[in-house]
Structure 1
Amino acid sequence: MSETYYFCPLCITANVFQTYSSLFKHIREYHRDDPSFGIRCELTVFCGFRYSTFDSYRRHIYRCHRSLIDSSDDSKNNISSGIDDIHFMEDFSSDASFNDESSIADNSDSSIYVDEEVDEMEYNFLNMNPITVPVKEDKLSLKEFAEFYTRVLLELREYHLLPQKIVQCISSFISTLLDMTFKLIKIKTSTSAFIPTNDLDIVFAQVISIINSISKNEYQFLKQCKNFFNYEAPTEIILNKNEERAYYIPLKQSIRTMLQNETLLKSITDNINSFSNYVAKDKDLILSNRQGCCIKSNMSRRENSNVLLLKLYTDGISVTNPIGAKRDFHKFTCFYYLLDDMPETMRSKVNSIGLFCMCYSKHLNDQNNAKILMDVLVNDLNNLQNEGITIACPSSRIYLVFSTVSADNLGANEVGGFQKTFSSGSFCRHCLITYEQRLIPLTDISFVPRTKLKHDMVLSQVIENNDDKIIQGVKCCSWFKNLVGFHPTESLPPDLMHDVAEGLCPLIITALLKEAIQQRILSYAQIEERTSSFNFGFNDLSNKPPPIKKQHLTNSNVIGTASQRLCLFKLLPIIFYDIIDELALFNLYTLLREIISYLYAGIMRKSWLPYLDALCKSFYSLMVELLPDHVTPKVHFLTEYCRSIEKHGLPILNSCMRFESKHQYFKQIVNRSLNFKNPLLTMSKRHQLRQCLLNKLASSRFSPSITVYSSRLIEFVKFSIPIQRLLKKYVNETDSISESLSIYYHDLKMKQKSVFVYDLIHTEEIPIFCQIHHLLKINEKWFAIAEKLHTKAFNEKLWAYEVEYTGTLEKIDIEHCLDLFPHCLDIYVVKETYYINLLVRLTKR
């Protein structure tokens, strides 16, 4: 085989190069700045364009001839050739024939998701014949190719309404496929300098066969997902009637696949060991759910030390079919799971939450259906706890221990077998208070907590009576009565999201603003104007609440998500800074605000609990005195949190907030697929397809990362003199320094002017803040150049820290900026004074 040589057309003397990569390097180093730069690409018969600048030539080479400058040798790609290719194509051809276009067009399963309904317009489009090129073979040219491809992209963008980024991603994939096809051709013809036409036909026929095969129907698509991505299909559960079904995903295989990621497993192990070390040094700390007495009891049953906690969550999703004669309302009950020992940066990701089961909510109203479904789920969970999981790690077997079930109050009462009404009887699953007793101040009485022994005695009486009569709030057996480690009085912690963010916060906001109107301090229009025109900081902007209008206050309903309501509650004193302390009910706000600062803390101390308990009882008693008509069950639930912390650990770790975010994914699936024949199958199947893709990308899914979308090189001398002095001891003037306006650290956006907690000082643990001035990359590591702020005082009226600028600069590693508080903060200006509003109480580990 003769060798191929390359000549430089820009040199006066003929320079010869054995590889194109060496020629390209020569052009880049010696000719890129030539004022008369001009080169014609003749690498293939399809090229021939002339480029007058090196940048335009370089873009063309990287776009069209990237394989020529790849450092890897073509021989490394030979692993996919030969016998493996033959076997691979035989596997494809054994299932179906791919070359008959008419069979694809007539196949009723030509859609990837055959169970999706579509509207009339899209139905007509999808039933069109496959896209073909209406040009005779001898007249086909690059113009027709460009026209056809433009049509494909146009249909993707404007008909199927795919975002531009998705279209660009598809284009990139197509380019990669074509590049792989070209390399396959090179491999097939590597033994000869000539390329027989027959070999080209074979290669392209195989490529087209593969493409048609994978997208032909649902069966072929799922088969390849199983082969290449370890797709695990949801398991169907037939309930009491044949048409009533549920779908669940066996936990053992799902969790095994997740834990096979070494980065994730190491992070979990390091997190457990780190917490153990901190608690050993300071026994007053509360860092994880492992410190709850009920969870300790569950873990004590397992002698093996390789134990991970498994948390469950259940809730309902409501979707509406908006089209056709089937316009109706659908409600599904979902069960999710989460590994409770994940580090906060991982457990906060929605993709870390797995799907366990989905069913129609109405089917669970039938006791037989509920029993069939729960028997399957409980058996799966018990097998997981008893047998453990074998994975390739230093310790070959890992055991899972059930921790708690998170749910809203209605869902928790249903799971636990308690009454599902909160307007009569013993409505609390934590104690024996009755609805009539809710107006008794806790200074005069304390309510008897529920215990395992008392609950089991009452439940026995309910079962013995067999008359559907509720006794002390107990209605029936729990769904998970046979689950190892579960008990209704110990495994259903309260939920901050529903109790506080969606319950008490809007209640107090409404009461305060109504008082302002009744006292003629503000009007409805002024309240709406202030809440709509308030300038929220960048870090609070994502949770900006909608304006409060007259109808909202009239109906005592502050609209918005849980995060938006909590944000409004946090900033209420700043929005209404000039009138807030004139309100008689402001003491209720300050009490609740202080309670929230403890409940939402990521680290707590046991010594805080007596004071927190006193705060909760004071708030309850003050509500009974000032707003007796607004003493709802959620006001009482607040008094149960101290006992819950002792049982279940940190309240923020048992919140439903992140689980609720998982619902949005399924709602998007239903809304986009418009499938209302069997939405359970579609949602569970699409979720599993997404999970198998994420598991394949697990290295980037769980690994710590700093993402930068844009940055610029900046010279050392361009910095101000104070920054030069600060950096001089760390860098040389010749070192490369990059600057970015913003970066993403574990999906949290950090940008210039944002504030973070730098230190806690004195016994009172007063926070010291820093404001970011620059985000710099020095020697491949990112740092923040930040100015320390002096904390002057805490303003109880605004419930914020008053700060002032000091001019003192610090160089801080990005990875340590968020050690004390994993969020960026904003500075608000009130009467020319700077304030930082911090929601939680902080303490050092």
Structure 2
Amino acid sequence: MSINCVQQCSICFVNVNGNNGYIRHIRQVHVNDRQFGTPCALCDSKFVFTNLKSFISHFRKHMLHSLFDEVPTPDLCVNHDIINSDVNDDFEEQLTIPEYEHYDQLEEIKKFYLKMLLRVREGHILPGAVMKTISLSLCSLLETFSIFLLSKLNINLDNPILRHVNGDIEKILFEISKNEELFISDCELYFRFIKPKEIQLPTGNTAYYIPICDILMCLFQKKDFYECIKREKKYICQFDGQDIIYHYRNGEIGRQHCILKIKENTILLQLYCDDISVVNPLMGKNAAHKLTTFYLSIDDLPACYNSSLNFIHLLLLFYRKDFENENNRQILFNLLNKDIECLENDGLILPGDITPTYFTISTLCADNLAAHELGGFTCSFNSGRCCRYCLIHHKDMKYVYREADVLIRTAASHDFHVKHIDNVPNDKSLYGVNEKSILSTLLSFNPITSLPPDIMHDILEGIMPKIISSLLHTIVSTRLCTSAQICYRINNFIYGINDRRNRPPTFKEKDIHDKRVPGKAMEKYCLFLNLGLRMMRTTKVAHGTENEGFKAERTVSSSLPSP
């Protein structure tokens, strides 16, 4: 049975305020879903739309042909993870008569054209010089259209009003695309664009830093953004003193956080570091450049929003090779450290508040190599004390499995190690520490507690492939199943809609004998999750049926060392 007003999202089942709120929620939350799929809630059809644009077009047709006015249904229960921001809202409020009299249509044309250029440049990664070509083409198109329209209306082609309007529009188009500075200034005016600060390095290269205070002020100007964070913080507090670690704040490290203990009105920030490579496809590998990026996200946002790309913001960008120099490292992080210190000590007065709200860092996520570089640890993982959580030696890692058998690093012991190597630099290998961390000036940052494990490399590309290879090798060696049968079952497994994107590559018999699991991290994870279903083969035994995969798992588990 069809309905006239949507009250709940058909994908994540979050309460929405009517049809307009539903469309707004779909565009803001599910626009980046890899496997988008939803039926229409306004009709009886069971067809599942897998394309966002076609679904929105279909939904709007229902709204236009609806015989009843949409009445937003009040929420009976407050949902802590609803954000009703007005960014990119297609349903603009109607202007009143006094507002319409002062409404500048040329300004609206300028804003629309500016948004179009942004989408073309950012969406298709085109250079800035393409703007002039677009402006010339649009002006020619506008002139041709005007001549065609006037000829159809039997109006004189030399109409002065038309020439005046076309001249104003052409002037706007060419002013925007005249140079990069004017384009950026217009973006700052209309879309709250934050201009990056250039950091000149002694090597001659340039790094870019987006002021973190400006990013936060821009974010908290969005409607209901701050209220959503407040509701989430109240929800997190419900788990205090319980055995459930719902959030960083509920853990032992979060409870001992130096800023959270002394300042109650504090919002947590999470930083993320990663390397990317850019290349000119016409020049091959010689034109490849490796860049290091730092990103920012609000750690107190609900999880469904915190994982969205719309809430992850670029913070710092520089060449990877510039980070290797100690002087460059200090210059690169000087502005970031000062801004975070200011946020921790002075805070920001957010819209609607009269008292400051403080911001501090919860964690800095990075891969193992980047985490060791940022924390000042040794970057060699093949010798010495290569673990940033304990003082185990590399030669003992294959034989020690219990935490009680090693000496765990603590914040106090790490500070002692740093002071010692400052006095005796030759003892770096003794503790596995090379230098003081570049972020150690921050009260909230400590290399031991602020650098979480690298889950992708440690688990998805470390532990899981090891278990899979040992399991399959044991199945073959104990003759429970042949390697050809295993490869056939793995390669011909039918995946669901959520796993098709991460389907692992073709599995070969040689991979089983070599104890090797091919594929990327998510492909190995997909193989690990579905391995039990693939290996199921029911065989009749004396007391019924038993799964050979389970028998193999018991065989492998008895041969693997206990944790």
Normalised to the residue count of structure 2, the TM-score between the two structures is 0.70
1:108-127 to 2 correspondences below 5 Å: none
Amino acid in the other structure paired with 2:195: A
Q: 2-side partners of 1:545 and 1:78: how far apart? A: 61
Residue identity opposite 1:420 in structure 2: C
Match of 1:487 in 2: 446
**C-alpha displacement at 1:545, in angstroms?**
2.6
Q: Does residue 1:511 correspond to 2:476, yes or no?
A: no
**Residue 214 to residue 551, structure 1, CA distance change in 2 (3 Å):** farther
Instruction: Kindly indicate whether the alpha-carbon contact (under 8 Å) linking 1:112 and 1:218 is maintained by their aligned counterparts in 2.
Output: no
Partner of 1:279: 239
Asked if 1:270 corresponds to 2:239, the answer is no
| 8 A Cα contact 2:385 2:429, kept in partner | no
Q: Please identify, of 125-134 and 497-506, the stretch whose mean Cα deviation from structure 2 is larger.
A: 125-134
SS in 2 for 1:583: helix
Residue 349 of structure 1 corresponds to which residue in structure 2? 308
Superposed, 1:16-31 pairs within 5 Å as none
Kept after mapping to 2: 8 A contact 1:468/1:475: no
Q: Once the 2 structures are TM-superposed, how far is the Cα of residue 525 of structure 1 from its aligned partner?
A: 4.0
Amino acid at match of 2:475: A
Matched with 1:80 is: 103
Q: CA deviation at 1:455?
A: 1.8
Question: Could you tell me how far apart the structure 2 residues matched to 1:534 and 1:408 are?
Answer: 32
User: Does the Cα contact within 8 Å between 1:580 and 1:586 map onto a contact in 2?
Assistant: no
**Compared with structure 1, are the counterparts of its residues 555 and 384 closer, same or farther at alpha carbon in structure 2 (3 Å cutoff)?**
farther
Equivalence map 1:398-477=2 (5 Å): 398-442=357-401, 446-467=405-426, 469-477=428-436
The answer as to 2:217 corresponding to 1:248 is: no
- Structure with the bigger percentage of strand: 1
Shift of 1:419: 1.0
CA 1:326 to 1:284, structure 2 compared with 1: closer, same or farther past 3 Å? Answer: closer
3-state SS of the aligned residue for 1:428? coil
3-state DSSP of counterpart to 1:316: strand
- 2:293 paired residue number: 334
Shift of 1:376: 2.5
Deviation at 1:320, TM superposition (A): 4.0
Change (3 A) 1:569 1:135: closer
Matched with 2:172 is: 210
Which residue is equivalent to 2:541?
A: none
Mapped pair 1:528 → 2:487: yes
Aligned residue for 1:260? 221
Deviations 1:149-171 (A, max 9, x none): xxxxxxxxxxxxxxxxxxxxxxx
Once residues 376 and 136 of structure 1 are traced to their aligned partners in structure 2, the CA distance between those partners, rounded to angstroms, is: 49
| CA distance in 2: counterparts of 1:472 and 1:249, whole angstroms | 36
Aligned to 1:141: 148
Query: Counterpart in 1 of 2:199?
Result: 237
The answer as to 2:348 corresponding to 1:389 is yes
Q: SS in structure 2 opposite 1:141?
A: helix
* 1:222 aligned counterpart, secondary structure: helix
Measure, in 2, the Cα distance between the counterparts of 1:126 and 1:210. 15
Secondary structure of residue in 2 paired with 1:80: coil
Identify the residue that residue 77 of structure 2 maps to in structure 1: none
SS at match of 1:538: coil
Distance 1:212 1:557, change over 3 A: farther
Contact kept, 8 Å, 2:340 with 2:360, in 1: the verdict is no
Higher-RCO chain (CA-CA 8 Å, sequence separation at least 6): 1
Q: How far 1:499 sits from its partner (Å)?
A: 1.5
Following TM superposition, by how much is the alpha carbon of 1:201 offset from its aligned partner in structure 2, in angstroms?
2.7
Indicate conservation of the 8 Å contact 2:208/2:317, yes or no: yes
Partner SS state of residue 431, structure 2:
coil
How far has the Cα of 1:72 moved from its partner?
Answer: 7.3
Overall identity of the aligned pairs, in %: 29
- Aligned mate of 1:576, from 535, 539, 549: 535
How much does 1:541 deviate?
3.3
Secondary structure of the 2:208 match is: strand
Unaligned 5+ runs, structure 2: 1-60, 66-92, 112-119, 153-157, 538-547
Q: Deviations over 1:713-770 (max 9, x none)?
A: xxxxxxxxxxxxxxxxxxxxxxxxxxxxxxxxxxxxxxxxxxxxxxxxxxxxxxxxxx
Q: Secondary structure, in 3 states, of the residue corresponding to 1:332?
A: strand
Contact 1:112 1:217 in 2 (8 A): no
Aligned length: 448
Aligned-partner residue type, residue 529 of structure 1: Y
Q: CA deviation at 1:495?
A: 2.9
Deviation at 1:490, TM superposition (A): 1.9
Distance (Å, rounded) in 1 between the aligned partners of 2:263 and 2:438: 28
Cα deviations across residues 649-674 of structure 1 (Å, max 9, x unaligned)?
xxxxxxxxxxxxxxxxxxxxxxxxxx
Taking the aligned partners of 2:375 and 2:434, their CA distance within structure 1 comes to 9
Q: C-alpha displacement at 1:540, in angstroms?
A: 3.3
Q: Which of residues 301, 320, 326 is equivalent to 1:361?
A: 320
Aligned counterparts of 1:127 and 1:133: Cα–Cα separation in 2: 10
Check whether the contact 1:214–1:221 (CA below 8 A) recurs between aligned residues: yes
SS at match of 2:102: helix
1:719-734 to structure 2, matched below 5 A, reads none
1:450 is displaced (CA, Å) by 0.8
8 Å CA contact retained: 1:441, 1:624: no
Which runs of 5 or more structure 1 residues have no equivalent in the other structure?
1-54, 60-69, 93-110, 146-195, 589-618, 626-638, 640-845
**Following the alignment from structure 1 to structure 2, what is the Cα–Cα distance between the partners of residues 531 and 340?**
38
| Distance apart, 1:356 and its partner CA | 1.3
**1:586 and 1:314, CA in 2 relative to 1: closer, same or farther beyond 3 A?**
farther
For 2:114, the equivalent position in structure 1 comes to none
**Kept after mapping to 2: 8 A contact 1:402/1:484:** no
- Following TM superposition, by how much is the alpha carbon of 1:539 offset from its aligned partner in structure 2, in angstroms? 3.4
Which structure's CA Rg is the greater one? 1
Of 208, 219, 222, which residue of structure 1 is paired with 2:181?
A: 219
Residues 462 and 470 in structure 1, CA contact (< 8 A), matched pair in contact too: no
Partner in structure 2 of residue 379 of structure 1: 338
Q: Show the counterpart of 1:822.
A: none
Deviation at 1:567, TM superposition (A): 2.1
Contact 1:312 1:338 in 2 (8 A): yes
Residues 337-390 of structure 1: per-residue CA shift (max 9 Å, x gap): 211111111112122111111111111111111121122221121122112112
Following the alignment from structure 2 to structure 1, what is the Cα–Cα distance between the partners of residues 511 and 527?
14
Distance in 2 separating the partners of 1:456 and 1:72: 61
Once the two structures are TM-superposed, the CA of residue 432 in structure 1 deviates from its matched residue by: 1.2
Change beyond 3 A, Cα 1:133–1:73: same
Given residue 141 of structure 1, which amino acid in structure 2 is its aligned partner?
Answer: F
Kindly indicate whether the alpha-carbon contact (under 8 Å) linking 2:260 and 2:266 is maintained by their aligned counterparts in 1: no
The alpha-carbon deviation at position 550 of structure 1 amounts to 4.0
Show CA shifts across 1:119-160 (max 9, x none). xxx99x969985776999899536999xxxxxxxxxxxxxxx
Change in CA separation of 1:447 and 1:533 when aligned onto 2, cut-off 3 Å: same
Task: Tell me the CA shift for residue 537 of structure 1.
Answer: 2.4
Aligned to 1:742: none
How has the CA–CA distance of structure 1 residues 530 and 134 changed in structure 2, closer, same or farther, with 3 Å as cutoff?
A: closer
Q: 1:390 to 1:73 in 2, by over 3 A?
A: closer
Q: Quickly say closer, same or farther: Cα 1:128–1:73, change in 2 above 3 A.
A: closer
Contact 2:471 2:556 in 1 (8 A): no
User: How far does the alpha carbon of each residue in 1:274-313 deviate from its partner, in whole angstroms, 9 at most, with x for none?
Assistant: 221x225x62222110123333333556644321011112
Structure 1 Cα separation of the partners of residues 279 and 143 of structure 2 = 48
In structure 1, distance between residues paired with 2:94 and 2:215 = 38
Residue pair 2:259, 2:360 contacting (<8 A) in 1 also: no
CA distance in 2: counterparts of 1:205 and 1:564, whole angstroms? 56
CA distance 1:143–1:438, change in 2 (3 Å): farther
1:61-100 CA-to-partner distances (Å, cap 9, x unmatched) read xxxxxxxxx997877522125xx97xx79x99xxxxxxxx
Q: TM-score, normalised by structure 1?
A: 0.48
Q: How does 1:684-703 map to 2 (within 5 A)?
A: none
Structure 2 CA distance for partners of 1:326 and 1:216, relative to 1, 3 Å? farther
SS of 1:265's partner is helix
- 1:260 corresponds to which letter in structure 2? Q
384-393 vs 433-442, which deviates more?
433-442
